[in-house]
Amino acid sequence: MAVLLLLSLALNVWMGAVIARLENYHYASFIGWCDEFKASEGLAMLMKREECLATKQTRSNPLWHIYYALRG
């Protein structure tokens, strides 16, 4: 029983981290960060945009990302 509880806890923490990362990426894209890399200019620019969006931090705490992602 304890193993299932620990597995569930680990899965919830992992899913929270994934949700926070995806919401950070979504919000950075939504507000227009990294728009200097236009996707229409080729694959290299698209890859630079993806790298740029992945490194941006849009909110002060990952819990805010989870809140905004789960509020609807």
SS3 14: helix
Question: Is 31 a domain residue?
Answer: yes
Of residues 22, 28, 10, 31, the one with CA closest to residue 69: 22
What is the structure's pLDDT at 72? 67
What is the pTM (predicted TM-score) of this model? 0.80
Domain that holds residue 33: 15-70
Number of domain units in the chain: 1
29 within some domain: yes
**If you average pLDDT over every residue of the chain, what do you get?**
91
- Written as tens digits, the pLDDT of the chain (72 aa) is 999 999 999 999 999 999 999 999 999 999 999 988 876 778 889 899 999 999 999 999 999 999 998 886
DSSP state of 71: -
Q: Is residue 5 part of a domain?
A: no
Residue 7 lies in a domain: no
pLDDT for residue 38: 77
**C-alpha–C-alpha distance, residues 26 and 69, integer Å:** 10
The size of the chain, in residues, is 72
In a domain, 27, yes or no: yes
Q: Is 6 inside any structural domain?
A: no
In a domain? residue 24 = yes
